[in-house]
């Protein structure tokens, strides 16, 4: 079998434009399908096809009035009704900046460099895959992800049996108790229908899908257990910043993320895990956990396909770098010169807990900002990284200054670097190396 090749930019552009000329009414997915049919020896992603069409002003979708440059689509968010910041800190308050920027946090008092502003445990946790593997091998706590020791405090999953084992263990009875808000629906013993979904997320290293599974488990179980807590949790989830996967695709994201075929496969497994298992025994297991019928609005928001895609986008936008979703932390906006950083100080007792620390002095009224990308990267790489989050071209003072410096230095190097990075990603994808 001949190995797939990645075509040059000129060859790809010629082929794509020829197909678009012959089929002017077709959108990007169908043009991409025709391209692969005409050139089966090529390895080309849909996002690269879209990029060619966008560069030529030939993309037409819901975010453009006509074929041409796409209108910027921003992530949307809203304030959490009745939100009490004082549960975490009295040093900051929530501020709504407008539709484009959404909400953020500003200082209420002077905060000194190095000062701990607040500590926060995750709303849900979808840990980095090395920690997840430790959890699945009984070597890290299934709730807080802290690596386990030989301590007598370590306890197993209470539902695990010899016939239906669950490998998850917990570092204490407290973590075992707290895991009751998510673990039962993700437990191999109590809800085996969830296993294919979790295996799929792990195999594809799809953190957003794993996080969505954790978040859905929390919502469903809280609805069963505590109506007041459910209303609070549901308000948190609905208020998170979101930008659907389709909107991100239409905006021409640059990240190497799963494609539409994988979205559909993931949605099928997701529905089977939490709503309609594939077998009768699995249906009976799930029915023991979920006895109350969901309100239609909640069910549609969770399980409708388009809502599922928005849920994936919501997780991608709000997860902390190590896989936790934190309620107050999710209010923080980006800066290429951040004044706050999230640190994991309690590595031996509560690895998933974060501490927000001031990187410099912060004055009252100043917005607290973290970075969504590696601030050590060059300006073009930072901007590409932000596009993956659904944000437009960053025009902060630092980015503008560095862009001018690159141009003064003779600057097509950044453009060549971007092309080379995309080509490298295509080659790796063709070889199955990510």
Are residues 308 and 199 both part of a single domain?
Answer: yes
Domain residues for the domain of 141 are 123-323
Q: Is the pLDDT of residue 60 over 50?
A: no
Q: Which of 20-34, 184-198, 207-221 has the lowest mean pLDDT?
A: 20-34
Q: Which of 26-30, 212-216, 231-235 has the lowest mean pLDDT?
A: 26-30
> pTM of whole model > 0.95?
no
DSSP states of 182-205: THHHH-TTT-GGGHHHHHHHHHTT
Q: What is the pLDDT of residue 59?
A: 61
The answer to whether position 419 is within a domain reads no
Band (pLDDT 50/70/90 cuts) for residue 45 is confident
Q: Which of 90, 117, 131 has the alpha carbon at shortest distance from 324?
A: 131
Instruction: Give the whole-number percent of the chain exceeding pLDDT 70.
Output: 85
Are residues 260 and 343 both part of a single domain?
Answer: no
Last residue of a domain, one of 301, 323, 345: 323
**Which of the listed ranges 24-28, 61-65, 97-101, 187-191 does the model predict with the highest average pLDDT?**
187-191
Are residues 140 and 81 both part of a single domain?
Answer: no
The answer to whether position 175 is within a domain reads yes
Q: Residue 273 corresponds to which tokens in the numbers above? A: 């895990």
Band (pLDDT 50/70/90 cuts) for residue 205 is very high
The model's pLDDT over 5-32, given as tens digits with 9 standing for 90+, comes to: 888 888 898 888 888 777 776 778 888 8
Q: Is the pLDDT of residue 126 over 90?
A: yes
Q: What is the CATH number of the domain that holds 346?
A: 2.170.270.10
Number of domains into which the chain is organized: 3
Last residue of a domain, one of 289, 323, 357: 323
The answer to whether position 248 is within a domain reads yes
**Cβ-defined contacts of 162-166 (< 8 Å, 24+):** 164/188, 164/189, 164/192, 165/189, 166/190
Are residues 93 and 153 both part of a single domain?
Answer: no
Are residues 157 and 222 both part of a single domain?
Answer: yes
Are residues 40 and 99 both part of a single domain?
Answer: no
């Amino acid at each position: 079998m001949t190995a797939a090749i990645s075509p040059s930019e000129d060859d790809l552009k010629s082929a794509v434009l020829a197909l678009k000329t012959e089929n002017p009414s077709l959108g990007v997915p169908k043009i991409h399908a025709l391209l692969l049919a005409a050139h089966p020896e090529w390895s080309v992603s849909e996002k690269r096809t879209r990029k060619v069409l966008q560069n030529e002003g030939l993309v037409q979708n819901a975010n453009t009035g006509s074929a041409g440059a796409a209108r910027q689509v921003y992530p949307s968010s809203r304030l959490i009704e009745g939100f009490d910041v004082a549960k975490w800190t009295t040093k900051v308050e929530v501020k709504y900046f407008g539709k484009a920027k959404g909400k953020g946090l500003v200082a209420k008092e002077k905060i000194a460099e190095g000062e701990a502003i607040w500590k926060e445990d995750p709303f849900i946790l979808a840990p980095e895959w090395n920690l997840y593997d430790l959890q699945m091998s009984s070597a890290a706590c299934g709730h807080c992800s802290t690596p386990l020791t030989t301590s007598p405090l370590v306890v197993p999953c209470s539902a695990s049996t010899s016939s239906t084992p669950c490998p998850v263990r917990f570092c204490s009875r407290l973590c075992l108790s707290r895991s009751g808000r998510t673990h039962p629906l993700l437990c191999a013993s109590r809800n085996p229908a969830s296993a294919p979904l979790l295996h799929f997320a792990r195999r594809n290293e799809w953190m957003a899908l794993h996080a969505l599974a954790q978040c859905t488990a929390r919502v469903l179980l809280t609805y069963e257990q505590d109506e007041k807590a459910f209303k609070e949790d549901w308000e948190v989830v609905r208020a998170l910043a979101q930008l659907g996967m389709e909107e991100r695709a239409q905006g021409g994201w640059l990240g190497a993320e799963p494609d539409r075929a994988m979205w559909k496969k993931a949605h099928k497994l997701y529905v089977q895990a939490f709503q309609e298992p594939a077998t009768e025994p699995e249906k009976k297991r799930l029915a023991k956990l979920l006895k109350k019928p969901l309100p239609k609005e909640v069910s549609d928001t969770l399980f409708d396909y388009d809502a599922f895609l928005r849920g994936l986008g919501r997780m991608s936008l709000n997860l902390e770098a190590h896989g936790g979703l934190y309620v107050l932390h999710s209010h923080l906006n980006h800066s290429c010169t951040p004044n706050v950083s999230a640190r994991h100080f309690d590595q031996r007792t509560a690895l998933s807990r974060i501490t927000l620390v001031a990187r410099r002095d912060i004055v009252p009224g100043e917005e607290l900002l973290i970075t969504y990308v590696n601030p050590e990267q060059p300006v073009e790489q930072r901007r590409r990284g932000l596009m993956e989050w659904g944000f437009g071209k960053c025009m902060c003072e630092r980015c503008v200054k560095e862009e001018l410096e690159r141009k003064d230095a003779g600057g097509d190097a950044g453009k060549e670097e971007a092309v080379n990075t995309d080509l490298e990603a295509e080659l790796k994808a063709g070889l199955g190396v990510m």
